[in-house]
Amino acid sequence: MTYMNTVESPLGKLILTSDGKNLTALRFENRVELQKSWQEKELAIFEETKTWLQQYFSGKNPQWLVPLKLEGTDYRKRVWKALLEIPYGQTASYKDIAQKLNASSSVKKTSARAVGGAVGKNPIPIIVPYHRIIGSDQSLTGYGGGLNRKIKLLKLEKSL
């Protein structure tokens, strides 16, 4: 069963989904199609996520992480884990992430382009902070929620 809930944010309404225990997705309202099978419900994980988001949007770095269940390939999960390691208020490039993954793995080497593909499939933006990814030339690159939202998030973290 997939449960859902909504939360208002400075970036617009956010749609949260859960398996009942973990946050499985966080989507911008204009970037998700609601599923008839999703059941709207109040859950502890949604309250915990809302608390995390309130803290974050007030300009504070939440020092904890809500329980996440990231669904994807092993490669995507490795990229998303690397995103979680980018400190609040800092940025990294796709190339930085590729180099980090290459240094920590004996499996097939990856490229900045492959990292970009995985970053774009991140199901939990903001919390899994792919807004912190920039081009190696320091340029702002695309963001699934829209470049205007990426700019707001980077300014909130004072990294722009």
Beta-bridge partner residues of 39: 3
Q: Where are the beta strands (DSSP E) in the chain?
A: 3-7, 14-18, 23-28, 39-40, 92-93, 133-134
Q: How many CA atoms lie within 13 A of 119 on its CB side?
A: 29
Question: Locate tokens 């390939």: which residue?
Answer: 73
pTM: 0.93
Could you read off the pLDDT tens digit of each residue along the chain, which spans 160 residues?
999 999 999 999 999 999 999 999 999 987 777 888 899 999 999 999 999 999 999 999 999 999 999 999 999 999 999 999 999 999 999 999 999 999 987 667 899 999 999 999 999 999 999 999 999 899 998 888 899 999 999 999 987 6
